[in-house]
Structure 1
């Protein structure tokens, strides 16, 4: 029989990696009573799929942002060109780019639409490899800024740069990974990024700037990354901070990411140990070390590493969330919840922290607190189908069927083409005794996926409760035509045969059940005797 639904887990597993986990329980959803028989019902879980509002076409994105992409010329002290790079003209009139694009420059110029402008360095963050340029005589752009905290793996993105000085080279791809960093997310993308494109723009489907592409070649493999737009917005603050405190060699970060890509956890542990020895005050070194230990299953060491990271940066919410994951895997529920609570105390708009807290409360049986946590998550990011789904499951289990219906209605609004979400909505409609809407939700699931056996079984149960017996039996038969060994369909069809005293078909169902599910067969046999031989059964 199918498993009942529990909330999707989006537990954050590392400073630069979010791992989507699915938490399921091996329990049936129970059964619906109809006359004197027991009819099994099914409920499913699926991985979240994210849909945004109408996306712009590639042509629309290009037309809106191309006027903000510039070419940067790096000259030495003798006026000889050293390198070419790309940059993004910001609304402020400054140009954002990678620091390595302007490194060791004797003179800088910026070209836009055939005109060349003198430029000088503005704010610099060597560690994050980002900087701004002050450009004389250049007007600001109308560029819109995005938010990497709202991005999803698999989303379409567009890269625009100037490889080898060729202006406005346009490519597309998807987000293949999001690596959590301070303020936002490092973006790994399939969009091609060539030398000279560094410092250009990475844009989402709504033409919003989400990052600066960075060409990086490591051990024979090109890795396409983009620095988060939040680092551009944070340049002024970081410039002031780093001018006092200095910076850390960013090569450590690239080497760690390369090892993570290969899932070389032992190598990553050794590298981070060396990093933490050389720079013991680096919270990043300890945070990465915690993640590597977590992947190896060395939970005590992971917890210790995350605690060291927190000692250095106690105000960093993501480390508290990581620590919560480690506590969760070690079964320390109380400490897990407190770590997540601390994460959202530090950053009340940390949606993932609220989701993790909701999952922890759910697992601990604190359904009201879990609902409250999910309400925070959907307030922060109302377009996150996973949060709505989790809240729907939790409201269902808490008996708050009206709230469950509303949550799943949001889910199918965000994911209208997903049959399994319609099945979940149909289930809670039934619990709320909204039968007509329940049947329509199941039928919608079948319009999307006509061979959906689980939806047919659930539809059969709904028809039975509504007294539509012919359609009920037809739904079970269709399900078994698709999947002859569907346990629930067999049991329910056999039960229907028994109620109509059709002994021979009922015996055939019993024989089939004995082969595929002896436990259900035994339950069916008891019903068989009770309905057909009531005196003997007593």
Structure 2
């Protein structure tokens, strides 16, 4: 009898366990996720990741290429030099422009269509890996910011994966892996593909020099509220969390995340009736 119960449980949970693609199944994406190499001012080289979003453009993070002496894209031991870039330094999104790439553009899916807890995976080149490495997780949050939705996931990524892709189960690009919160319990954030589409219509630029700082690297008090709440939430600093969440609710009264963190803070302080209302 126990054997049949175990078999039944395996059948019930099998779709969830098998939903994420295996490493072998992600191989076709190898034609669309590339290494972005840079020449640094001190003579050394840097690395990040990029995603082919059209025959002309590779999307990556601006912090991968900013203030370097040059950048190129590498795939299957072949290198490709961009003829120009498009940049939104504050959003930390750049497009490397090419005449025509012999690589496969990836379809894109707007972040507004994503569901909470939807299964996703990231793909990039962490720690000098010569092949793209997947990491599996779920959509854990969507935060309205600057005309788009920043996507939070627990599909981890590491140094070298900046500019890589976050994908859904159908291999649609749903975000650009960009930054994480400090510490071992980091929250991982991706830029929305809607920003990529907007950037395609912006003017070309030739230089890589900038003094602009990405929004996520601003002083803590200038960062978006969804970033400001992380440290006090993880450290159980409830009074600080309540102060930030109260400001967040005032500015974004329709944000469920703002109300959630306010409720968590009030419960932590012991203000149970208020927490139930939040």
Query: How far apart, in 1, do the equivalents of 2:175 and 2:126 lie?
Result: 17
1:191 is matched with 155
Output the CA distance in 1 between the equivalents of 2:95 and 2:172. 19
Deviations 1:210-261 (A, max 9, x none): 0011143525653311111111111145669xxxxx9675124657434322
Aligned length: 227
Q: Secondary structure at the match of 2:94?
A: strand
**Residue 180 (1) aligns with residue 149 (2):** no
The SS at the match of 1:144 is coil
1:143·1:208 contact (CA, 8 Å) conserved in 2?
Answer: yes
More strand by share: 2
Q: Which residues of 2 match residues 177-256 of structure 1 at below 5 A?
A: 177-218=141-182, 221-237=185-201, 250=215, 251-252=217-218, 254=223, 256=225
CA distance in 1, matches of 2:23, 2:184: 33
Q: 1:248 to 1:86 in 2, by over 3 A?
A: closer
Q: Secondary structure at the match of 2:177?
A: strand
The alignment partner of 2:186 has SS state of strand
Q: SS of the residue aligned with 2:196?
A: helix
In 2, the alpha carbon distance for the partners of 1:95 and 1:142 equals 9
Residues 293-335 of structure 1 show CA distances to partners (whole Å, capped at 9, x for unaligned) of: 365xxxxxx2xxx4xxxxxxxxxxxx6855xx99xxxxxxxxx
In the alignment, the residues of structure 2 paired with residue 90 and residue 172 of structure 1 have an alpha-carbon distance, to the nearest angstrom, of 22
Partners of 2:155 and 2:103 lie apart in 1 by 27
Q: Is the 8 A contact 1:266 1:292 kept in 2?
A: no
Point out the more displaced range, 170-179 or 116-125: 116-125
Query: Corresponding residue for 1:152?
Result: 115
Please show how residues 70-81 of structure 1 align to structure 2 within 5 Å: 70-77=34-41, 80-81=43-44
What aligned pairs does 1:118-137 form with structure 2 within 5 A after superposition? Answer: 118-135=81-98
**Alignment pair present for 1:161 and 2:124:** yes
Give runs of aligned pairs for residues 421-500 of structure 1, distance below 5 A. none
Residues 293-308 of structure 1 mapped to structure 2, 5 A cutoff: 293=247, 302=250, 306=251
CA distance in 2, matches of 1:104, 1:247: 11
Whole-Å separation in 2 of the counterparts to 1:247 and 1:268: 28
Cα contact 2:55–2:100 (8 A) shared by 1: no
Give the match's secondary structure for 1:218: coil
Correspondence for 1:292: 246
Residues 437-473 of structure 1, C-alpha deviation per residue, up to 9 Å, x if partnerless? xxxxxxxxxxxxxxxxxxxxxxxxxxxxxxxxxxxxx
| Stretch of structure 1 that moved more, 256-265 or 99-108 | 256-265
Identify unmatched segments of 5+ residues in structure 2.
Answer: 1-14, 205-210, 260-278
* SS of match in other structure, 1:232: helix
5+ residue gaps in structure 1?
1-50, 241-245, 271-288, 296-301, 307-318, 327-538
Equivalent residue for 1:116? 79
TM-score (norm 1): 0.38
Deviation of the 1:181 alpha carbon: 2.4
1:257 aligns with 2:254: no
Deviation at 1:105, TM superposition (A): 1.0
The Cα of 1:168 is off from its aligned counterpart by 1.0
The structure richer in helix per residue is 1
Distance in 2 (CA, whole Å) between partners of 1:257 and 1:294 is 8
Distance 1:255 1:220, change over 3 A: farther
Report the CA distance between 1:189 and its aligned residue. 1.1
Q: Does 1:91 align with 2:78?
A: no
Report the TM-score, using the length of structure 2 for normalisation: 0.69
CA contact (8 A) 1:154 1:176 kept: yes
Residue 156 of structure 1 contacts residue 175 of structure 1 at CA under 8 Å; is this kept in 2? yes
